[in-house]
Amino acid sequence: MAYSQEQIDEIKRYCEKVSALSEGGITFLLLEKLRLPAGCEPSVCDALLCPVSRDGYPSRLYLSVQVSSRYSRNWNMTNARIGERNWVAFSWRVDIPNPSPAQLLIAHLMGFTKEK
């Protein structure tokens, strides 16, 4: 999946570094030192945004650590091995037609800020 420079610049605001990571026919976006919403602990962690269908979800946000937030989440993916690193993810379904990477990221981050 190709992204425009504008889209990359938009998502770059949320982290220190963005890079592409290709594995298993999927191009993930590796977001280093991603800023997390208020109330999250830690407030920053690395993340891997999968913009296409994987593990039965239309898209996924993998995180380098399990994050505690204002709402408890179902961390149903632990130790997903991608890019020679282990990742975790909580159950969160995002259905937005043709989102930009930043829109997709925000929709996943909402998983830390809303109850259901």
Partner 1 sequence: MNDIEIAEQEVDIFEFAERGAEVPHARRYRIRIDCEIAIFDTSHASGEAILRKVGKRPCGFELVAEFRHCENEVVEPHEIVDLRQRGLKGFITAHKEIVTITINDKPYRIERGERTVAQILTLIGQTPETYVLMEEKDGPPLPLPANLPVKVCGCEIFHAQVQSGGSS
> How many whole angstroms separate alpha carbon 60 and alpha carbon 9?
20
CA 87 to chain centre: 10
Stretch that binds partner 1, among 16-24, 46-54, 79-87, 92-100 (CB under 8 A): 92-100
Q: Which is nearer to partner 1, 30 or 60 (CB)?
A: 60
Stretch that binds partner 1, among 17-25, 32-40, 46-54, 78-86 (CB under 8 A): 32-40
The nearest distance, CB 91 to partner 1, in angstroms, is: 5
If one asks whether residue 101 binds partner 1 (CB under 8 A), the answer comes out as no
In 3D, which of 52, 66, 63 has the Cα closest to residue 101? 52
Binding to partner 1, residues 51-90 (CB under 8 A): 57, 69-71, 73-74, 90
In 3D, which of 31, 56, 55, 35 has the Cα closest to residue 44? 35
Query: Are the CB atoms for 49 and 29 separated by under 8 Å?
Result: yes
If one asks whether residue 44 binds partner 1 (CB under 8 A), the answer comes out as no
Report residue 65 as tokens.
């650590």
Stretch that binds partner 1, among 19-27, 47-55, 80-88, 104-112 (CB under 8 A): 104-112
- For residue 110, CA distances in Å to 26, 61, 81, 95 come to 24, 11, 24, 13
Interface residues toward partner 1, by CB under 8 A: 13-14, 35-39, 57, 69-71, 73-74, 90-96, 102, 106-116
